[in-house]
Amino acid sequence: MQVILRQLGDCNIRRAEPSDLIPVMEINLKTLPEHYSDYFYESLLAEIPEAFIVAEISGKHVGYIMCKTEYGFSNFKKLGFVKKGHVVSIAVLDEYRKKGIGKALVEESVNGVKLKKCDEFYLEVRCSNNDAVRLYEKLGFVIRQKLNAYYRDGEDAYLMAIELN
Ligand code: ACO
Ligand code: ZN
pLDDT at site 11: 98
pLDDT at site 143: 98
Least reliable range by pLDDT among 66-70, 75-79, 106-110, 147-151 = 75-79
> In this structure, which amino acid lies at residue 148?
N
Residue 150 and residue 156 in contact, taking contact as beta carbons nearer than 8 Å: yes
Average pLDDT of every residue of the chain: 97
Cα separation of 131 and 44, whole Å? 25
126: which strand partners? 157
Note residues around ion ligand 2 (Cβ under 5 angstroms). Answer: 124
pTM of the prediction?
0.98
The residue contributing the CA closest to ligand 1 atom 11 is: 98
Does residue 134 have its Cβ closer than 6 Å to ligand 1? Answer: yes
Q: Tell me the pLDDT tens digit for each residue of 31-44.
A: 999 999 999 999 99
pLDDT at site 119: 98
- Position 165 pLDDT exceeds 90: no
* Cα–Cα distance list, 155 to 27, 55, 132, 146 (Å): 22, 29, 15, 11
Does residue 145 have its Cβ closer than 6 Å to ligand 1? Answer: no
Mean pLDDT, range 119-141, rounded to an integer: 98
pLDDT at site 85: 98
Query: Where are the extended beta strands (E) located within the chain?
Result: 4-8, 11-15, 53-57, 60-73, 81-92, 120-126, 142-147, 157-163
Q: How confident is the model at residue 1 (pLDDT cuts 50, 70, 90)?
A: confident
Mean pLDDT, range 107-131, rounded to an integer: 98
- Position 3 pLDDT exceeds 90: no
Pairing of strands 120-126, 81-92: parallel
State which ligand 1 atom lies nearest to the alpha carbon of 89.
50
Mean pLDDT, range 46-56, rounded to an integer: 98
Q: Tell me the pLDDT tens digit for each residue of 24-33.
A: 999 999 999 9
